[in-house]
Structure formats: structure tokens, C-alpha cells
Structure 1
Amino acid sequence: MTYADIILLSGSGLLAGAINALAGGGTIFTFSALVAVGLPAVTANATSAVSVLPGQIASTTAYRREIVASFRRLLPFSIISAIGGVAGSLLLLNTDEGAFRALVPFLILFATILFMSAPYIATFGEKLAACRTTDGVGPFATALQGLVAVYGGYFGAGMGIMMLASLSLTEGRDFHALNAAKNWLACIMQGLAVVVFILSGAVDYSAVVIVASASILGGWGSVVVGRLVPQRVIRWFVIATGLALSSWYFIQ
């Protein structure tokens, strides 16, 4: 690994850590940087998932009280998220490298469109929450969460936005309840996916050390970034980068 590679991976980790803490979408940066330094696409995706997991766990611990309070209600979602996360990771590992590389521009474009649509998805979720007739987890919400979990284990970028719709059916409009549930379930699906990736040997640990360390620093520095840069600017930066990267991969 060259000094240029280290700088690129460190920069992507810093960006991902800060952006994940403020708006989400940081996986686009870490995955693309790992591919740029020469890792195969499947290995890059697995390595990126391992690298961002510590930040995901840290975010989840901040909501431990809310998670404990709603644990019984979230149990069906937790189970389906575990199953979907493992299924998605196994699907990734069994995808041919060439086939996955061909999917990359579509996956990044899809994640970018999700990010662009986040306000509309949140509004849709609020409408679902207003229409719900029970505090339990129904079959539609469970099936929707299952699809999100498979996607989360397979690629992951934008899965939090997708969960705004499924979780509104159980958590209603409470911001902290939604965030707590989203972080908890993301930890489950990505945590188990990471276990599968590690056991399969599909992880580049030298890259993990660099990206994960930088991501943690980026998360800490997000407070400063959030004060200096308006969230709208951050959102459009992520969107513009996602569109540019997907276009680049389509050309390649």
C-alpha cells in the first residue's frame, strides 16, 4: 500500500465518519476509496462494512435506554434483521466478482437516489405512522424490514433511509424512538454480516485499520463540521459525489 493509498483511505474514513454522524451516506466514500486503491469490489464492500461498524455500534449505545424500553416490540424486527443480514452477506460472497462490479454503479446510484429521497421517505413514513392501527409488528412491516436487512447485508449504503418507512409502522413519529430502532437494527444486520465476512476471509485488515481509525476521528469531528457547514450543503455534497461516482463506474 502506497502513501497515496493511505491518504485516500484516511480521507474517505474521515469523510464517512463525519457524514454518517450528520446525514448518513458515508459508505459510498469508503467503498469507492477501497476500490480505487485496488481491492476487488466484493472485498472492498466487506472491508468497508467492517470499517464502519465501530461507529455504528457507538451510535447505538447512545440510545441504549430507548432500545431497552422498546426491545420486546422490536424483537420480531431484530430476528428478521439478523436473518436478512446474514442472507445478504452470503449473497454477496456468492456473487461473481465481475457480476458485482457490474452492479456497483447501479448500487451507488440507488443509494444516492435514496439519499435524495430521504425527506419524501420520511413524510411517507409519517403517513404510515398516522394510519397504523396497532402497536405490534405486522406482516407487511416485517417483510419490508426483511428486504431492508438483505440489502443491508449485501451493500448497505442507504439502508437507514429505507428503514424510516418500515419502522414508522412500529415506532410512530417519535424521532428518538425511530433513531434508536434504526441504529439497533442496523447494528444487528451489519454486525452479523461482518461476522460472515470475517469468517470467509473476505476482509483486508490493513485497510480496515486505516479506514476505521479515520472514521472514528471523523465522527468525533462531526460536531465541528456540523457547526461550520449547513446540513443542506452536506446533503448535496453527498448527492453530487454519489452521482459522480455512479457515472464514473458506468463509464468504466
Structure 2
Amino acid sequence: MSAAHYLLLVVAGFGAGLVGFVTGLASIISYPALLAVGLTPVAANVTNTVAMVAVGVGGTANSLRELTEMGPRLWRWAAVSGVGGLVGALILLWAPAGSFETVVPYLVAVASLALLLQPRIRKLAGGKEFPVLYPAALGVVAIYGGYFGAGAGVIFLALTLICTGLSVWRATILKSFLLGIANLVAAIAFSMSGEVNWGAAAAMALGALLGGWCGPPAVKVIPPTVLRIAVALAGFGLAGWLALK
């Protein structure tokens, strides 16, 4: 790759990091950028997963206090996300190509609809939390995150807002952290596959680290309802794009 390609990946990484933290849609920027510089779809997918670990690192580094305030349950959720990320990575490496991608647009669309209806769903639930359902569903979403990842942040956010009493602000921080854990474990598995383009991953990770760092301050100034609706609408757009491509 040329110097211009690496510069493109740094810039795309920053955009993916910032957009990914705020909306959970990092891959809509990062994945096409990796394809644009000549990577194959599989190589772009695994390289993207490795690079996007940096979003979680940057975001977590700038929101440690809020995360630690969640207590011991945070580490239980992190363990579930890690196991799910590993399972998803193994599915990608061993399963036939395209075996899971057909259902992805529907998953993202359902999550986006859930985000739009989240206040009503929480009202119907009587404001209750779901300490058993949440980690179980979290594991399933983490499997998807380790497998493909596009739109996984939207699904994480919708699940968290519906199953817990966390605010949009805290749910966004948690989403970035848990998705980062799933990506990290999947990235370790992918690093042994020989498919990762390490130069491209490093360039994109540099931008993604900076973008993730800028994410928490950006989310903090966006009105919660505006953020929730914006992420939902972007999710519908991503679902449509995934269905057509």
C-alpha cells in the first residue's frame, strides 16, 4: 500500500472511532475504507476487528470513572462479552462464508426499532431490570460482534437501554467497553489466522484510538433523546445498506 493509503486509513480510523463510540456504527466507515485500499472482504473484516479494538481503548481511557461506578457486574458482563467475541471469531474462521450474514440486516433493523421504542418498552416493563436476560442476550450479541460486527454497537445499545436502568450516556460508555472486549478477544483469535493486514490495522487503529478518546465528551453534550433517535435512524440506514450489498 502507498503512503496515501495509510493516510486514508488513519483518517477513516478517526472517523470510525468517533462515529463508532457515539453511534456504534464504526464499521460503516472502517470496513469500506479497508476494501478501498485493496483488502479482500475476509481480510478487511478481520483487520477491521483488530483495528477497532482501539476505539474501546480510547473511549474507556476517557470514561474510567463512569465504568468503575458500575461495580462488580461490569466484570461479569465483560467476561460474557469476551467469550461471545471468541465464539464469533471461531465461527468466522471455520464456518462457510456468508453463513451468518443473511440475518445481519434484520438484526440491525430490529435493534434500531427497539431503540426508537425504548421509552415505551421500558414503561411496559415497569422500569424493571433483567439481570438474567441481559447477560444471556449480551453473549449472543457479542458472538455477532466477533463474527462480523457491522451494527453490533446499535444492538448492544438497544439491549442495554431496554434491559437495564442505565441512562443513554452510561449505556453508550458501556456499549463501547463491552464491544471493545468482544473485539479484543476476537482480534487475538484473528491474529493467528494469517488474514490480518497488520500495516493497515496499525494505521486505522491510530486514528480509531483518537476518535474513541473524543467520543465520551461528544456524547456528553448530545441530548439523550436526540442521540437515541439518531442512532436508530442510522441503524435503519445500515440495515438497508447491508441488505442491498
Q: Kindly state the Cα deviation for residue 114 of structure 1 after the two structures are TM-superposed.
A: 6.0
Select which of 196, 199, 206 maps to 2:199: 206
**Contact in 1 for aligned 2:106/2:239 (Cα 8 Å):** no
Matched, 1:161 2:154: yes
**Contact in 1 for aligned 2:146/2:186 (Cα 8 Å):** yes
TM-score when normalising by structure 2: 0.76
Percent of residue pairs identical: 29
**Contact in 2 for aligned 1:125/1:164 (Cα 8 Å):** no
Counterpart in 1 of 2:177? 184
Q: Kindly state the Cα deviation for residue 69 of structure 1 after the two structures are TM-superposed.
A: 2.7
Deviations 1:178-202 (A, max 9, x none): 2343233222211111111113332
Q: Kindly state the Cα deviation for residue 116 of structure 1 after the two structures are TM-superposed.
A: 4.9
**Contact in 2 for aligned 1:13/1:218 (Cα 8 Å):** yes
Counterparts in 2 of 1:217 and 1:80: CA distance versus 1, 3 Å: closer
What residue identity is the alignment partner of 1:34? L
What residue identity is the alignment partner of 1:54? A
What residue identity is the alignment partner of 1:147? V
Counterparts in 2 of 1:61 and 1:118: CA distance versus 1, 3 Å: farther
Counterparts in 2 of 1:11 and 1:188: CA distance versus 1, 3 Å: closer
Larger Rg computed on CA atoms? 1
Counterpart in 2 of 1:83? 83
Higher helix share: 1
- In structure 1, runs of 5+ residues without a counterpart are none
TM-score when normalising by structure 1: 0.74
Counterparts in 2 of 1:212 and 1:115: CA distance versus 1, 3 Å: farther
Counterpart in 1 of 2:119? 123
Hey, what's the Cα distance between the residues in 2 that align with 1:184 and 1:124?
26
Hey, what's the Cα distance between the residues in 1 that align with 2:55 and 2:38?
24
Number of residue-to-residue matches in the alignment: 238
RMSD: 3.7
Hey, what's the Cα distance between the residues in 2 that align with 1:176 and 1:234?
13
Q: Kindly state the Cα deviation for residue 49 of structure 1 after the two structures are TM-superposed.
A: 1.1
**Contact in 2 for aligned 1:43/1:202 (Cα 8 Å):** yes
What residue identity is the alignment partner of 2:116? Y
Deviations 1:34-68 (A, max 9, x none): 22333222221110111121121111233322322
Hey, what's the Cα distance between the residues in 1 that align with 2:116 and 2:235?
17
Select which of 145, 165, 179 maps to 1:172: 165
- The alignment partner of 2:58 has SS state of helix
**Contact in 1 for aligned 2:11/2:207 (Cα 8 Å):** yes
